[in-house]
Amino acid sequence: MPAPERTSTEAIVAAGRAILEESGPASLTMQAVATRVGVRAPSLYKRVRDRDALLTAVAEAAIDELGSRLADSDSDSASGTGTGNSGADLTKLAEVYRAFAHEHPESFRLMFTASAPVDALHRASEPVLRAAAALVGEADALDAARLFTAWATGFLQMELSGVFRLGGDVGRAFDYGLRRLLAGLTA
Amino acid sequence: MPAPERTSTEAIVAAGRAILEESGPASLTMQAVATRVGVRAPSLYKRVRDRDALLTAVAEAAIDELGSRLADSDSDSASGTGTGNSGADLTKLAEVYRAFAHEHPESFRLMFTASAPVDALHRASEPVLRAAAALVGEADALDAARLFTAWATGFLQMELSGVFRLGGDVGRAFDYGLRRLLAGLTA
DNA sequence: ACCTGAACACCGTTCAAGT
DNA sequence: ACCTGAACACCGTTCAAGT
């Protein structure tokens, strides 16, 4: 006999994301997800291997959303697909990245914790690679993109965890870092 | 009646660190720590508020060890307490930092996860602040130190999590990033 | 004054039994 | 073909009872 599906993988992942941002990773339990989706916990194992796989799926969904925003911001400023624009593209990407981290702090944390979905991260960071290539050329593009991404990610993680709370305006420190970093790339 | 102490906070934290590096954070349970220390799990609560406090203490111990190494490397090269040395001090600090992360990957991860002990991190990063001041002056020292620390931390986290595994020599990317970053700071 | 057995609440996961 | 109750193993934590 058939038996209609009472939920879906997408609904489960969406529930996971919502719980994560509302109540933190410790509250993201199989039971909480099941309840929010209107099903019993054991049913989740029909769609998701285990809790770790669910966390990875949630991280991947967040990364994909970030990727869309980065791609959008990229197409905004890329009216002329020219070369070296003095870092305007990377500046825009940095702002979009920071806004996303502030908007979804728990998802941002999870993106680099958990068994990070490397493929998704590579997909999402493609606009950064393109902007870096425009600034420093193809030969150094990968290294430059890694410099930019590592700085932005480390900075935002520290900002969110409160390490930067003492002393000085954090926004000013972000701008300073970005300016110096771009100066170093174009030196 | 007295009753001799059968363990100590230091032994508990040391056991936690050992388990963390040997088997990962999921294996760092109260029971595992208690067994390694020769006591029953409930006894741990006489010295440690809860598991979260234990994780924080383990992170703090790791940060203190990192701090010692950074301070040592600093005193090495600081034969002349002069000014701008073209970034040799920061280069040395970056190498020590990277070596520590490779040696204690799980501790390194925990340092920026968990309820990060902000004070300990500030203590440990003091050599970075000094080296940054020597390079760019007191006025920009804090922002410069944050640029350096954010980049190094983000880079090492991504390296350890395998995000950088594809494409190019990771060590070369680290050197490139450091070189460009120093160029930006001295521009 | 410290340690422990017993107990409780909670979680992840499996599986036979339901429809 | 999907869902569920029941069960199991495991964990964090509390506390009265031991010495």
Going by pLDDT thresholds of 50, 70 and 90, the confidence category of residue A166 is: confident
Residue % of chain A over a pLDDT of 70: 94
Q: Is the pLDDT of residue B117 over 90?
A: no
Specify the higher pLDDT residue, B76 or B156: B156
Contact A153 B157 (CB under 8 A): yes
Nearest residue of A to residue B117 by CA position? A163
Give me the mean pLDDT over the B11-32 stretch.
98
CA distance B107 to B31: 20
pLDDT digits (tens, 9 = 90+) for B77-103: 654 445 557 799 999 999 999 999 999
CA distance A129 to A75: 14
**Quick one: CA torsion of B139, A88, A121, B116, rounded to 10 degrees?**
20
Residue among B100, B109, B98, B104 at smallest CA distance from B173: B98
pLDDT digits (tens, 9 = 90+) for A106-155: 999 999 997 878 999 999 999 999 999 999 999 999 999 999 999 999 99
Residue among B187, B172, B79, B173 at smallest CA distance from A151: B173
Q: DSSP 3-state assignment of B163?
A: coil
Q: Which of B150, B167, B182 is closest, CB to CB, to A158?
A: B150
Going by pLDDT thresholds of 50, 70 and 90, the confidence category of residue A84 is: low
Residue A62: exposure state from Cβ atoms within 10 A (0-12, 13-18, ≥19): buried
The structure tokens listed for B31 are 């029971």
What pLDDT is recorded for position B165?
Answer: 85
Contact assessment for residue B123 and residue B67, using Cβ atoms and an 8 Å cutoff: yes
Residues of A at the B interface, defined by Cβ within 8 angstroms? 112-113, 116, 118, 121-122, 140, 142-144, 146-147, 149-155, 157-158, 161-168, 172-173, 176-177, 180-185, 187
- In angstroms, the CA of B128 and the C1' of D12 are apart by 39
CA distance A12 to A15: 5
Contact assessment for residue A73 and residue A124, using Cβ atoms and an 8 Å cutoff: no
Which of chain A's residues 75-104 bind strand D, using a 7 Å CB cutoff?
A: none
Contact assessment for residue A12 and residue A47, using Cβ atoms and an 8 Å cutoff: yes
Q: Which of B147, B164, B165 is closest, CB to CB, to A181?
A: B147
Q: What is the mean pLDDT of chain B?
A: 93
Contact B142 A181 (CB under 8 A): no
The structure tokens listed for B56 are 């924080």
Q: What are phi and psi of B3, to 5 degrees?
A: 100, 105
Q: How many helices and strands, by DSSP H and E, does chain B display? A: 10, 0
The DSSP secondary-structure symbol of A168 reads S
